[in-house]
């Protein structure tokens, strides 16, 4: 759509990419996505800060008076399991970037394979998160149990929701590709979807360290 708006002084020529004519040389869509991601930093920053604040105050919660915050990781989290999950999400970033790269080289078949792989890796991550949540609830740590659990579930839940939305976008693009609506001329659309996906991964890089590993 950008092309109609970024039209030059004459209407004689449009190209089909929408970024040939903007004054910055960046397409509207890509710039918009980066601005959105900048804005998302503040969203996850707020959730992470809330979590950090309340983990620090853990001992003031009923039932946690004697908990040792430094042992929290060992007591609560299954670190080896989460490490595998993190690794899976990290690798989905690789497959994503390979999908974009394939489409840029007009290899649509390979692009679809990588795209599907990315969505599957993302889905495994979500499966792992559901398993982890269920395990917590079974052990008696539900969303409403205490402030710590509320903050934990909210932060990881928000991230999980972002991953799910990402999977939906990827699957939509996969379907579009099957319909022939996602040819090489639209490689940038896939790249932009990829930016979102990588951002979700980057957030997990932070969450993994801040929530799970730092004692």
Partner 1 sequence: MSTTTETTHGDHGAAHEEHPNRDMTYVKVAIILAAITGLETFTYFESVFDFGAALVPVLLVCMTAKFYLIAAYFMHLRWDKPVLRRAFLTGIVIALSVYAVTLAAFKFFGEGMPR
Partner 2 sequence: MAIVEREPLALTTGEPSNGSLEPLGVLARPSTKTGWRSWVSTVDHKKIGIMYGVTALFFFFVAGFEATLIRLQLAQPNGTVLSADLYNQVFTMHGVTMVFLVIMPMAAAFANYLLPLQVGARDVAFPRLNALSFWLFLFGGVFLNTSWVIGGGGPDCGWFCYAPNSGVVFSPTAGVDYYTLGLLITGVASSIGAINLIVTVLNLRAPGMSLFRMPVFTWMQLVVQMLLLFSLPVITVALFLLTFDRLFGANFFNVAQGADPLLWQHLFWIFGHPEVYILILPSFGIVSEVIPVFSRKPIYGYPFMVFSGIAIGFMGWGVWAHHMFASGIGPISVAAFSLATMFIAVPTGVKILNWMATMWGGRIRFTTAMLFAVGLVAMFTIGGLSGVTHSVAPADTQQTDTYYIVAHFHYVLFGGALLGLFSGMYFWWPKAFGHFLDEKLGKAHFWLMIIGFNLTFGPMHILGLQGMSRRIQTYQATDGLTFWNRVATFGVFVIAAGMLLFLYNIGSSYRSWKAAGRPNPGADPWDSRSLEWSIPSPTPEHNFDTIPTVRAADDFWHRKYGEDEHGRAVRIAATEDVVQKGDATGVHLPSPSYYPLVLAAGLPFIGYGLIFNLLLVIPGALLVLWGVYGWAYEPSTEPDDHHGDHGTAAAAHEEETSVG
**Contact footprint for partner 1 (CB under 8 A):** 15-17, 19-20, 24-27, 30-31, 34-35, 37-42, 44-46, 48-49, 52-53, 56, 73, 79-80, 83, 86-87, 90-91, 93-94, 96-98, 101, 104-105, 184-185, 187, 191, 194-195, 198-199, 201-202, 205-206, 208-210, 213-215
| Stretch near partner 2 under the rule CB under 8 A, chosen from 26-34, 70-78, 92-100, 109-117 | 26-34
The reply on whether position 68 binds partner 2 by CB under 8 A is: no
The reply on whether position 23 binds partner 2 by CB under 8 A is: yes
- 105, 135, 172, 214: residue in contact with partner 2 (rule CB under 8 A): 172
d(CA 98, CA 112) in angstroms, rounded, equals: 10
- Minimum CB separation from partner 2 for residue 80, in Å? 29
Which of residues 116 and 213 has its CB atom nearest to partner 2 in the complex? 116
Cα–Cα distances (Å) from 167 to 11, 125, 145, in that order, read 39, 11, 30
Burial of 5 (0-12, 13-18, 19+ CB in 10 A): exposed
* Residue (of 29, 5, 45, 38) closest to 159 by Cα position: 45
The reply on whether position 178 binds partner 2 by CB under 8 A is: yes
Burial of 34 (0-12, 13-18, 19+ CB in 10 A): middle
The reply on whether position 188 binds partner 2 by CB under 8 A is: yes
- DSSP letters, 160-176, are HHHHHHHHHHHHHHHHH
102 CB-side CA count, 13 A: 18
Cα–Cα distances (Å) from 66 to 60, 69, 80, in that order, read 9, 9, 25
Going by the DSSP 8-state scheme, the letter that residue 141 receives in this structure is -
- Chain residues binding partner 2 by CB under 8 A are 1-11, 14-18, 22-24, 26-29, 31-33, 35-36, 38-43, 46-47, 50, 53-54, 57, 60-62, 143-144, 146-147, 150-151, 154, 158, 165, 169, 172, 175-176, 178-183, 185-186, 188-189, 192-193, 196
């Amino acid at each position: 759509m950008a092309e109609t708006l970024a039209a030059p002084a004459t209407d004689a020529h449009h190209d089909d990419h929408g970024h040939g004519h903007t004054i910055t040389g960046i397409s509207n869509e890509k710039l918009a996505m980066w601005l959105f991601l900048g804005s998302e930093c503040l969203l996850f920053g707020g959730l992470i800060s809330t979590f950090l604040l309340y983990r620090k105050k853990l001992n003031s919660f009923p039932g946690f008076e004697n908990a040792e915050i430094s042992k929290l990781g060992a007591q609560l989290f299954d670190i080896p399991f989460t490490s595998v999950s993190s690794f899976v999400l990290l690798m989905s970033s690789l497959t994503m970037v390979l999908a974009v790269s394939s489409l840029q080289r007009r290899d649509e078949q390979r692009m679809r394979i990588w795209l599907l792989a990315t969505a599957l890796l993302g889905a495994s991550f979500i499966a792992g998160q559901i398993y982890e949540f269920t395990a917590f609830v079974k052990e008696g740590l539900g969303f409403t149990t205490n402030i710590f659990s509320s903050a934990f579930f909210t932060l990881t839940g928000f991230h999980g929701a972002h991953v799910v939305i990402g999977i939906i976008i990827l699957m939509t693009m996969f379907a579009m590709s099957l319909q022939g609506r996602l040819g090489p001329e639209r490689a940038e659309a896939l790249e932009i979807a990829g930016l979102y996906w990588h951002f979700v991964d980057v957030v997990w890089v932070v969450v993994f360290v801040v929530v799970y590993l730092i004692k």
